[in-house]
Structure 1
Amino acid sequence: MPRDNMASLIQRVARQARITFRSPAGPAFGENLHRLQQLLDEVRAEDLHLAPQGPAAAAGGAGCPRAGAVPPVSYMHICETESFSMGVFLLRGGACIPLHDHPGMNGMLKVLYGTLRIACMDALPAAAAPPPPPAPGPCLRALLRSRQHYTPASPPCLLSPHTDNLHQIDAVEGPAAFLDILAPPYDPEHGRDCHYYRLLEGPPAGAEPALPREVWLLETAPAADFWCGGEPYPGPRVCP
């Protein structure tokens, strides 16, 4: 598709997201989701007027532990409705968005520049899990399904309320950015609050263990060195 048509592409992504997620239980959801995935796969960094960089220094970023500090991660808000939110996350080289969940939510992640390593997990039913090991807080049994590298050439990473709903996202080999759609948005008043976790046990010694494999997760506060700042979105205006 010619680059001069891209100003309308992010608008069409937003409109398709509105169509897709206003009826996530409807008979056309699968078809609409596929169409949204196709549109999202076309988006490139230049379409949003982005160039490879880390987050800018931003005093007073959300949860910022000290004024004037450069956050490891920043967020550019594009748009939000009752059914979905869309924005861009910028990660400095080596930064990590810790393992977290998306309760009752669908999501799509498209890398715009850089390389991300994304670990995806499914929460397992409590009745199917053995007793957890001794731990200082609430535990969750999960299935570590995949740990893959994503680049701008990769298709979007998808999550659903039951599949790949837990993510850890690491920037490798320099800064990275991704376009993020969550449906519906986080909303603690409606039970969609973000919870953070860490692995209770490390990987077995020796070679990388085969996946998928079951793991225990400990619910925890995010790491002290993680916080998310805010930056203005420089791309085409979007009206969902």
Structure 2
Amino acid sequence: MKIEAGLVDRKRQGNCQLPKEMSRSSKKNRRGQKKSMTVVQKLFETCKDVFSTSGAGIVPSPGDVERIRLVLDSLKPIHVGLRQEMPYFRTEESDKAPPVTYMHLYECDKFSIGIFCLPPSAVIPLHNHPGMTVFSKLLFGSMHIKSYDWADIPCSSDKTHNPSHCTFENFEVQVAGMRLAKVKTDAVFTAPCNTSILYPAEGGNMHRFTAKTSCAVLDVLGPPYSDPEGRHCTYYRDFPYASFSVDKELGYEGEGFAWLEEKEKLEDLSVLGAPYMGPKIVEN
């Protein structure tokens, strides 16, 4: 999910190179720092190493993916200064959808780290992650996750494979602009649980988060969204496969599939920025 510029203080800094020569005392101090390294700092150092040679559409090796996952699996709310009694996790009486709070930890052109805080019933709408490998760690609470990957449809000008119209709730809608997707995940997750990982073309690249209780999720995106580089955040609405009358020769069974349509506006999403109060990330 993309956070608009200006919402939080986003300091885009490149990777810092250590000097080639270091005195014995500085090496000794560095060894001492490693012994007391926070989990957040370890996550930063691991991401910095793993994503140093990656880019859009480039998936880290299985070993590197496992390195990040292991750090995230060990991460607890206390490691990032979160408590469930914080105001970000309370639901105020209102006709509007509860706001989501975002805490920015770090971002450069290779990866980003941030935390989304959701009160009960808050929703992060269905959205994509173009060319990205994404790690999502549920820190506490229960969250429903529904995710999709695009389904492959044979290219054809024949109406069987590319119908011009479909019937949906007794009115005609254009299929152009809609695309068939396959459900990857549709379940409730409760912390502690394993880190969720998605990839550019699989693993549930498009997902929606719905808070069943107050909850927090830490996201690592590699690389982050970038409009200038063509990595836009696109939001979707999903329709059950059976909602449309299409020729069965499409080759898909209805269960496990849905039609996705891009959403131009998001009147139902409010994201507020909040300062990150946990251990600071030190670039070295």
Hey, what does 1:194 align to over in structure 2? 233
Give the 4+ runs in structure 1 shifted more than 6 A.
25-28
Cα shift at 1:47: 0.9
**Cα distance change on mapping 1:188 and 1:118 into 2, 3 Å:** same
Q: Residues of 2 paired with 1:232 and 1:162: CA distance?
A: 33
Choose 214-223 or 179-188, whichever is displaced more: 214-223
Choose 94-103 or 45-54, whichever is displaced more: 45-54
Hey, what does 1:42 align to over in structure 2? 74
Hey, what does 1:215 align to over in structure 2? 258
Hey, what does 1:239 align to over in structure 2? 282
Instruction: Report whether the alignment pairs 1:158 with 2:197.
Output: yes
Secondary structure at 1:20 match in 2: helix
Q: Residues of 1 paired with 2:241 and 2:62: CA distance?
A: 37
Cα shift at 1:19: 1.4
Cα shift at 1:100: 0.4
Identity over the aligned pairs, expressed in percent?
Answer: 28
Structure with the greater alpha carbon radius of gyration: 2
Cα shift at 1:76: 0.2
Q: Residues of 1 paired with 2:256 and 2:197: CA distance?
A: 20
RMSD over aligned Cα, in angstroms? 2.9
Secondary structure at 2:79 match in 1: helix
Which of 113, 128, 132 is the equivalent residue of 1:86?
113
Q: Over residues 145-174 of structure 1, what are the superposed CA-to-partner deviations in whole Å (9 max), with x where a residue is unaligned?
A: 2212222211111110011100011100x2
- What amino acid maps onto 1:169 in structure 2? F
Contact 1:54 1:175 (8 Å CA) reproduced = no
Q: How many pairs were matched up?
A: 219
Secondary structure at 1:82 match in 2: coil
Q: Over residues 60-108 of structure 1, what are the superposed CA-to-partner deviations in whole Å (9 max), with x where a residue is unaligned?
A: xxxxxxxxx9961111000011110001001111011010000111100
- What amino acid maps onto 1:11 in structure 2? Q
Hey, what does 2:126 align to over in structure 1? 99
Q: Residues of 2 paired with 1:192 and 1:27: CA distance?
A: 15
Hey, what does 1:21 align to over in structure 2? 51
Q: Residues of 2 paired with 1:169 and 1:34: CA distance?
A: 23
Secondary structure at 1:22 match in 2: helix
Hey, what does 1:144 align to over in structure 2? 183
Instruction: Report whether the alignment pairs 1:10 with 2:52.
Output: no
- What's the TM-score once normalised by structure 1's chain length? 0.81
Q: Residues of 2 paired with 1:226 and 1:81: CA distance?
A: 26
